[in-house]
Amino acid sequence: MKPPLRRLGYAITIFLAVLPIDRSFGFNRNEPVAPLPDAEPRDVRKVELGRALFSDTILSGNDAVSCASCHDLAAGGTNRMPRAIGLADGKMLFNVPTIFNVSNNHTLGWRGNIKSLAVQNEKVLLDYNLMAVTWDRLLPKLAGSSYGAQFEAAYGSPPTREAVLDALISFEMSLRTPNAPFDRYMRGDAGALSVQQIEGYQLFKDYGCVSCHQGSNIGGNMTQKLGIFLPNGDALPFRVPSLRNVAITGPYFHDGSVDQLPQAVSMMGRLQLGRELPEEDIAAIVAFLTSLTGIYDDGNLLNPR
């Protein structure tokens, strides 16, 4: 049980949260998180070309897999499998992170050692265990297909390395999921969250989760060791993932070892905070995390698991 004074504090916070708010003030800029910003305008021709390439197996060396094979937009931008399997050697790779809101991350890859979408996309294309293609093979394939005319229309040239990467990036930058209930709450819609979700957000701050999961992506901008309070924690740091749409992007962690969100929250309490979180606090934090599920493309909330 929480101390009575702490419970009183939550009651006051929730009471204030449901009072009428002057929406002209927007969100509180002193908060550690912020609403998701709008995507920057992009050339529609380049976005649509990137969309087509993203789902086309022509980008792979064996013409059998596409970017969407792992980053399924209908499955939260991931594949909902514990770990990806290497194309060449069949070995288990890292869990596939969601592609949604990827342009709002400051670091990429599970190790957080990649700083740009251009580098990330090229790495995936050329990796023998992922897309396993070479530029010498890919560019003639694209030029000899219907994509040749599309590149001429969008870039004024046949397919080039720079144009292929730019088209993919243009599409990926469009993969924003705005207007999550939490975004609406932060912008002044006091009724967008339930009482439990508001308490969950307060707990998320009180426990210190925001020390790693902050900003408009609620993560994705730093690396951290996993297992701070374990003597055998992972020696190398991992990128702190964005928590946007986290309720629909499990399994969780770099190895996909946890399938359910409450279990993931409980484990993070032990690994990163050195605490056993009470069940009621876990439930409230999970309720808050479900409010981070946004809207994509057709105006509907992303599909639940």
For residues 303 and 20, the model is more confident at: 303
pLDDT of residue 109: 95
CATH of the domain at 24: 1.10.760.10
To the nearest 10 degrees (0 to 180), the angle between helices 147-155 and 135-143 is 90
- In the prediction, which pLDDT does 10 show? 53
All residues at 6 or more sequence positions from 177 whose CB lies less than 8 Å from its CB, including other chains: 36, 100, 101, 244, 245, 293, 294, 295, 296, 302
195 plus 108 within the same structural domain: no
CA 57 – CA 65 distance, rounded (Å): 5
Residue 23: the pLDDT is 36
User: Look-up: residue for tokens 């002193």?
Assistant: 30
Tokens coding 84: 């990806």
Asked whether 270 and 276 are in contact (CB, 8 A), the reply is yes
Nearest to 269 by CA among 259, 255, 283: 283
Q: Are residues 268 and 149 located together in one domain of the fold?
A: no
Percent of the chain having pLDDT more than 70?
87
Residue 222 has pLDDT above 70, yes or no: yes
Cα 303 versus chain centre, distance? 15
**Cβ-based neighbour number of residue 31 at 10 Å:** 13
pTM: 0.89
Residues 33 and 182 reside in one and the same domain: yes
Same domain, 63 and 144: yes
Instruction: Write out pLDDT tens, residues 48-90.
Output: 999 999 999 999 999 999 999 999 999 999 999 999 999 889 8
Which of the listed residues 123, 141, 173 is the one where a domain comes to its end? 173
Choosing from 156, 173, 190, the residue where a domain stops is: 173
User: Is the sign of the CA dihedral 124, 241, 167, 248 positive or negative?
Assistant: positive
CA distances from 136 to 49, 88, 239 (A): 20, 19, 32
**Could you read off the pLDDT of 193-202 as tens digits, one per residue?**
999 999 999 9
Residue range 197-216, pLDDT digits in tens: 999 999 999 999 999 999 99
Look at the block and give the residue holding tokens 């094979």.
Answer: 69
CB 250 within 8 A of CB 136: no
Residue 106 clears pLDDT 60, i.e. is over it: yes
Q: Are 239 and 220 in contact (CB under 8 A)?
A: yes
18 — alpha (psi -120 to 50), left (phi > 0) or beta? alpha
Say if residue 217's pLDDT is above 60: yes
Q: What is the pLDDT of residue 39?
A: 78
Tell me, yes or no, whether 239 and 187 share the same domain: yes
Same domain, 194 and 74: no
Asked, as a colleague might, if the bond just before 3 is cis with ω within 30 of 0, I would say no
Q: What is the pLDDT of residue 4?
A: 40
243/101 Cα distance (integer angstroms): 10
In this structure, are residues 45 and 154 in contact, taking their beta carbons and an 8 Å threshold?
yes
Of 158, 173, 188, the last residue of a domain is 173
User: What does the pLDDT look like over 7-44, one tens digit per residue?
Assistant: 545 544 454 444 433 333 345 668 999 999 887 888 99
Residues 116-173 pLDDT 10s: 999 999 999 999 999 999 999 999 999 999 999 999 999 999 999 999 999 999 999 9
pLDDT confidence of residue 24: 35
Give the model's pLDDT for residue 27.
54
What is the per-residue pLDDT for 303? 54
Do 59 and 28 lie in one domain? The reply is no
Read off the pLDDT of each residue in 286-297 and give the average, rounded to a whole number.
94
Give the integer Cα–Cα distance in Å for 152 and 178.
32
| 155 and 186 fall within a common domain | no
Q: Phi, psi (5° rounding) for residue 80?
A: 55, 30
Given this model, what pLDDT does residue 113 score? 94
Q: Are residue 183 and residue 263 in the same domain, yes or no?
A: yes
Looking at the fold, whether 76 and 149 belong to one and the same domain comes out as yes
Q: Which two tokens stand for residue 97?
A: 């992170």
| 252 three-state secondary structure | strand
C-alpha span between 122 and 157 (Å, rounded): 20
Structural domain count of the chain: 2
What local confidence, expressed as pLDDT, does residue 199 receive?
Answer: 98
User: Residue 112 belongs to what domain range?
Assistant: 44-173
164 and 50 co-located in one domain: yes
Assess whether 97 and 202 both reside in one domain: no
Residue 298: the pLDDT is 59
